[in-house]
Copies of this chain bind each other. A is one copy, B any other.
Amino acid sequence: MSDSKSVRPRRRFWGWGLDSDALSAAEVAVVKALMSRLGAASAETRAPPQESDFALAAPRVRPPTSLADSFSATPHDRLNHSYGKSYGDSVRMWARELPNPPDWVAFPADEQAVTDILDWAHRANVAVVPYGGGSSVCGGVEPAVGVDYAASVSLDLERLNRVLEIDHSSRAARIQAGALGPELEAQLRPHGLTLRHYPQSFQFSTLGGWIVTRSGGHYATLYTHIDEFVQAVRMVSPAGVLATRRLPGSGAGPDPNRLVIGSEGVLGVVTEAWMRLQDRPRFRASASVRFRDVFTAAGCVRALAQSGLNPTNCRLLDPEEAVFSGVGDLPNSLLVLGFESADHPVRPWMERALELVRDHGGEYDAAAVERSMHPPESDGEGEHRKGAAGAWRDAFIRMPYWRDPMVGMGAILDTFESAITWNRFEEFYRVVREEVSDAIRRVSGRPGRVSCRFTHVYPDGPAPYFTYAALGTDRGDFGASLSAWREIKLACNELVTGLGGTVTHHHAVGRDHRSGYELEVPATYREALAAAKASLDPGGILNPGVLIDPRDRAVGITGVLGPRVR
């Protein structure tokens, strides 16, 4: 058990990306400019964390030798599986604060090994934390604090990363849950098929993680979450396997898939799923539309969302967000609008959408729209990166890479997303920006930046995604930054749920959103879910502290416990 069972390129244990990744010169310049805009005296970073900075205690238990092929306790594996990738995770690494690493990391080679690990853990009172790709930004993949377990194991399905079966006529594939985005797309591409699920974490998140966190993906409308693409799912729980049937639709009782989807690893470990796929798109059209007023722009987005045109892309960036994304044109808001199809030219769709845009006073470069439709693009490797939306999407994928060095420079950077009905949107947008700015000023003593985009839109409301940046401290006091961030986080949870929104549109609840989740979701439902968990995980070993935790009712936030409830 002394060697790592990981076969993937080494991840940077303290932040986003691989050990070998680096920022480009242009990105370094952006980081410096951002730090300067935040008012930082300099853009010097502290020395990044190294493995030797951390003294890990020996594992508290030893797994049975029959499972030796799965387990690893190398410092890199344990460090890499200690936290997710939130700001709170990053700053704790910069602070070298790691009181509670997993004792072991398990890399099962097949589903039987998953079952065996859960059986052992159930008997031995060992907490099991399903790790997915480890990209959680809400405290979803770290061992519990404050509860007595004999030990904790982080469960990484990286060895279960294959596309096992393809049903061309139904356009579906059976895919192992440990497959990262690029891994599964590479296996589907030769068949002309694609899942087309591109969360920002695409490179470092897994199918299983997407399913249990209700990941938000590529499509701005209609198929906003992974949910709709799950045809059937297979989950191993301590009580046995829960495998749903491949069905295009059903009305037989509450949908069993929907209990698994969003369960955040507390009910079982998803090992594989039959996923609904798409043909690779051949026809596209895109437009970049400017609006002088953000609420006028939102009115246009509402009309588009209610039109039945179902644009693939319909992302509205408010003025501050457009600047942050490097595509700003102050004081304008920017709408990135796109259609795609594998079946038919999308010109009629785009033409009607542009009529709505003009009705709402949006301005765009008609020639550029025309160019986006000629010729149909080739079906190549980077096909989803081209067109008017391409520059924005490239920047989007790279955003997490910038954060870690900025954390080292003393910045506090975080995002939170919600969804709200249209009738409440204007108040929501105004109040959230004001109150978050106030919270930043209150806890950090300085003004911050708050920006917003719509990641997804619905006929009944948008999903606003807020980004904020603040300067925690110039003096590298990461503990103070962590405290400030926690306070802002809890304020955001209370704010968005208090205004009628959801505490998370697609980042999941984890630990960090539980204080909002308890306000948002009725106690009767949480009790019913806890009862379902007790049925599937009678020992309460799975991902303790996350989502609901019948054994420890404290509402925590990354690294600390909050007040006890009920």
- Chain A positions near chain B (C-beta within 8 angstroms): 167, 169-172, 213-216, 222, 224-225, 227, 231, 237, 239-256, 258-264, 267, 276, 279, 302, 306-310, 341-344, 348-349, 352, 419-423, 456, 458-463, 500-509, 513, 516-517, 520-525, 527-532, 534-536, 547-548
Contact = CB atoms under 8 A, between A and B. Distances in A.
B253 A264 contact: yes
Contacts of A421: 167, 169-170, 172, 231, 246-248
A562 B499 CA distance: 51
Please state the number of chain copies in the assembly. Answer: 2
A505 B240 contact: no
Contact of A247 (B256, B423, B502, B517): B502
B261 A254 contact: yes
A412 to B, nearest CB: 24
Contacts of A422: 167, 169-170
Contact of A522 (B241, B258, B420): B241
Contact of A423 (B167, B241, B252, B348): B167
30 contacts: A170-B459, A171-B459, A215-B251, A225-B249, A231-B421, A240-B524, A242-B522, A245-B500, A245-B520, A246-B500, A247-B421, A248-B421, A248-B461, A249-B419, A249-B458, A251-B262, A252-B502, A252-B509, A253-B263, A253-B517, A253-B529, A256-B521, A256-B525, A259-B528, A307-B344, A308-B341, A308-B344, A309-B344, A344-B352, A527-B535
Which of the listed residues A231, A308, A341, A458 has the most CB atoms from chain B within 10 Å of its own CB? A308
Contacts of A504: 250-252
Contacts of A529: 253-254, 532
Contacts of A342: 308
Nearest to A249: B419
Contacts of A216: 251
Given A169-B302, A244-B522, 6 more contacts: A169-B422, A253-B517, A254-B260, A309-B344, A310-B310, A524-B536
B460 A170 contact: yes
Nearest to A341: B308
A465 to B, nearest CB: 12
Nearest to A503: B252
Contact of A276 (B254, B459, B531): B459
A171 B306 contact: yes
Contacts of A213: 251
Contacts of A523: 240
Given A262-B251, A456-B249, A241 B531 contact: no
A170 B458 CA distance: 9
A528 B259 CA distance: 9
Nearest to A536: B528
A262 B267 CA distance: 21
A502 B169 contact: no
A293 B173 CA distance: 29
Contacts of A253: 262-264, 508-509, 517, 521, 529, 547-548
Contacts of A245: 500, 502, 520-521
A272 to B, nearest CB: 14
The interface centre, meaning the residue of A254, A256, A260, A276 with most chain B CB atoms within 10 A of its CB, is A254
Contacts of A260: 254
Given A279-B306, A343-B308, A248 B419 contact: yes
Given A231-B460, A276-B460, A522-B256, A508 B169 contact: no
Contacts of A532: 528-529, 531-532
Contact of A248 (B243, B262, B420, B534): B420
A103 B295 CA distance: 57
Nearest to A262: B254
Contacts of A341: 308
A502 B251 contact: yes
Contacts of A500: 245-246
Given A241-B522, A242-B525, A506 B276 contact: no
Which residue, A344, A352, A423, A520, has most C-beta atoms of chain B within 10 A?
A344
Q: Which 10 A-B pairs have the closest CB atoms?
A: A248-B461, A248-B458, A348-B348, A258-B258, A214-B251, A250-B502, A531-B535, A528-B532, A531-B531, A170-B421
Contacts of A308: 341-344
